Copies of this chain bind each other. A is one copy, B any other.
Amino acid sequence: MRRLLLSGIAGIALLLGASARAAEDDDLQKAAAQAFKPIPAMVPSVQGNPVTREKIDLGRMLFFDPRISASGILSCNSCHNLAMGGGDNVETSIGHGWQRGGRNSPTVLNSVFNAAQFWDGRAADLRSQATGPIQASVEMAATPAHVMSVLGSIPEYQQRFATAFPGEQAPLSFDNLAKAIEAFEATLITPHSRFDQYLEGNKAILTAQEKQGLKLFMETGCVACHNGINLGGQDYFPFGVVEKPGADILPPGDRGRFQVTRTASDEYVFRAVPLRNVALTAPYFHTGKVWDLEQAVSIMGVSQLGKELNKEEVAAITAFLRTLTGEQPRVELPVLPASTATTPHPEPLAGLPVAAPKPAPAAATATPAAPRQKR
């Protein structure tokens, strides 16, 4: 009898516990649905630049065409590699003449949802952004004039600009190149991540640890900067609100948004990093000095929140961040039209070391070629 009673009480206790957990689960999901938005399955519209099939196709060609760089070998995809999460997975990018860029290459995936582009938000939109790296001396090092003479020398490009920008007096323009690239980039979205499915109501799709990480992400305050559809990319904040990280991660020479606004309060201010697909975009921070996502999480805890997250907390938050990896866009490599007799040649590469001829063992014809200097 007593045993019955006891087991009955235990049963009730269990039920209460379960329902309490369920309620907690509901609250967490509701709170998350408030703070974040899922990536839409459809290509979003772009203000002032209707996204058409013709623009997307043209933009894809331009995104992959290295002839719009001074050297003829660098394209948008060189540093925003669509096979690798839309970045280049190196500390800072290598550009024209093997120069290093000053900051880590941000992913182009879902960038259409950012309020502004670049680490310091100096470009209002993707079409403004697109014109930067093409001209940057350490990136593609080209000029609009060069780009226009390359594209203007290729009939298929002339025709495609005309089709993509119908009724315009001069459809082949640097501005329209930027608009076409923006239209293509608007298609580079990654819906259906596990977190998106969670936001849409599938509470069972996240593990207990991932939910714990989400809870911590919201309660410790990460969400204050990393919210909305991209979990970031919407506003600007100082790197090191509470405690500045080391000079390797935050070098004094790069004062962030101050270099755009010249406003003292913008010193070392950067755009909150969008965290979509963050598991694919190592290394981290504008300097790309941190390769390990867990380390990046603890650094942010200290520098932004003044909180020493313990091992378990860091692991949970990182597990949550890994649920932000969405379906990667499937991109077919364009077939670029051939250059013509009037296409400008790549910048003369005189002065570069040219490989000296090297003897090869006769055996090389039968065995795998050993390291050598020539093709």
Contacts and interface: CB of A to CB of B under 8 A. Distances in A.
Interface residues of A, number: 101
Contacts of A366: 124, 128
B338 A85 contact: yes
Nearest to A77: B333
Secondary structure call for the A interface: loop
Contacts of A138: 355, 373
A3 interface: no
Given A66-B81, A331-B333, A332-B333, A103 B375 contact: yes
Interface centre among A66, A133, A328 (most CB of B within 10 A): A66
B92 A354 contact: yes
B102 A89 contact: no
A373 B88 contact: no
A21 interface: no
A203 to B, nearest CB: 26
A128 B360 CA distance: 14
Given A124-B366, A330-B332, A93 B132 contact: no
A352 interface: yes
Given A260-B360, A357-B102, A67 B89 contact: yes
Nearest to A255: B357
B292 A105 contact: no
A180 to B, nearest CB: 14
Interface in A99-149: 99-106, 116, 118-124, 127-129, 131-133, 135-138
Q: How many copies does the complex hold?
A: 2
A50 interface: no
Interface string A245-261: 00000000111000111
A91 B259 contact: no
A254 B374 contact: yes
Contact of A354 (B100, B120, B135, B292): B100
Given A73-B90, A136-B372, A136-B373, 15 more contacts: A82-B333, A90-B346, A91-B346, A100-B354, A101-B375, A102-B357, A106-B375, A116-B365, A122-B364, A123-B364, A128-B369, A132-B368, A132-B371, A260-B360, A332-B333
Interface of A: 64-67, 71-73, 78, 81-85, 88-94, 97-106, 116, 118-124, 127-129, 131-133, 135-138, 175, 178, 253-255, 259-262, 279-280, 282-283, 286, 291-292, 328, 330-336, 338-339, 341, 345-346, 349, 352-362, 364-375
